[in-house]
Amino acid sequence: MTPRTPAPRSRRERPAKPALTHGTIVASAVRLMAAEGLQRVTMRRLAQELDTGPASLYVYVAGTAELHAAILEELLGAVDLSPATAEGDWRDRLAQVLLSYTGVLFDHPGLAQSALVTRPSGPHYLALVESILALLHEGEVPDGQAAWGVDVLLQVATATAAEQSVREGAPDAEDDHDALVEALGQASARTHPRIAALGADLFSGTPQQRLAWIFRAVVNGTATTPR
């Protein structure tokens, strides 16, 4: 029989197994998400990808929630913050930044949902917050209102993306929305006069149109509502 001495194979093999660090784990998670979607980015699947056991990952990552937050922080590097320092109406530029942010979330169904609950706190997220605050400052929104308003703006942007993403991602969330449209359509004028009066207008507009209006409305509210 051939000797079972494990032939001293070169340290790095075909997929060039990287050393485990927080950084390499997150980088691998981002690649995995791009390839298979967030739903496949689990501690176990990722461990498999990194050619190790799931327990090893817990040395560097606290758990699934932290992992997803780290992925989002990474992706936030793609948000275009340049409008914050450009020329033109500050409200338009604020909307541009927020739309760029929602754009990133739209591309990654599910990530927005986790972002509502586990917020990132890395440099890209800080830069986004700073840009929004700078634009509100430029618009002479009082500091106290800006401090609370930035939260609402990011929340509304994130929640809208979460809603849209999942509607796209999940096959039957569509039915779910249809059920609501149906239910609102059926509402009788006697029991639900306002729903009946508004009718189809409750669902009018493209997501883009609604999002643009929402941002304007929340910015206006922030600017004009004293604490």
C-beta closer to its own copies: residue 35 or 221: 221
The candidate with the shortest Cα–Cα distance to 150, out of 96, 64, 205, 222, is 222
Stretch that binds DNA, among 46-54, 84-92, 207-215, 218-226 (CB under 7 A): 46-54
Residues 114-133 that bind its own copies (CB under 8 A): 116-119, 121-122, 125-127, 129-130, 133
Say which residues have a Cβ less than 8 Å from residue 139's Cβ, sequence separation at least 6. Answer: 90, 91, 94, 219, 223
Contact partner at residue 64 from its own copies, DNA, none, CB < 5 to 8 Å by partner kind:
DNA
Question: Least distance (Å) from DNA to the CB of residue 66?
Answer: 8
Which of 8, 190, 201, 206 is the binder for its own copies (CB under 8 A)? Answer: 201
Asked if residues 106 and 76 have their Cβ atoms less than 8 Å apart, the reply is no
Q: Which tokens is 178 given?
A: 């249809």
Question: Least distance (Å) from its own copies to the CB of residue 53?
Answer: 22
Number of residues engaging its own copies in binding (CB under 8 A): 73
Residues 68-97 that bind DNA (CB under 7 A): none
Query: Is residue 52 at the binding interface for DNA, with CB under 7 A as the rule?
Result: yes
C-beta closer to its own copies: residue 22 or 177: 177
Query: Is residue 145 at the binding interface for DNA, with CB under 7 A as the rule?
Result: no
Long-range contacts (CB closer than 8 Å, 24 or more residues apart) made by 127-135: 127/76, 127/81, 128/76, 128/79, 128/81, 128/97, 128/101, 128/154, 129/154, 131/81, 131/84, 131/97, 132/84, 132/94, 132/97, 132/98, 134/84, 134/85, 135/84, 135/90, 135/93, 135/94, 135/97
Which of 54, 139, 169, 207 is the binder for DNA (CB under 7 A)? Answer: 54
Give the binding site for DNA (CB under 7 A): 20, 40, 42-45, 52-56, 58-59, 63-65
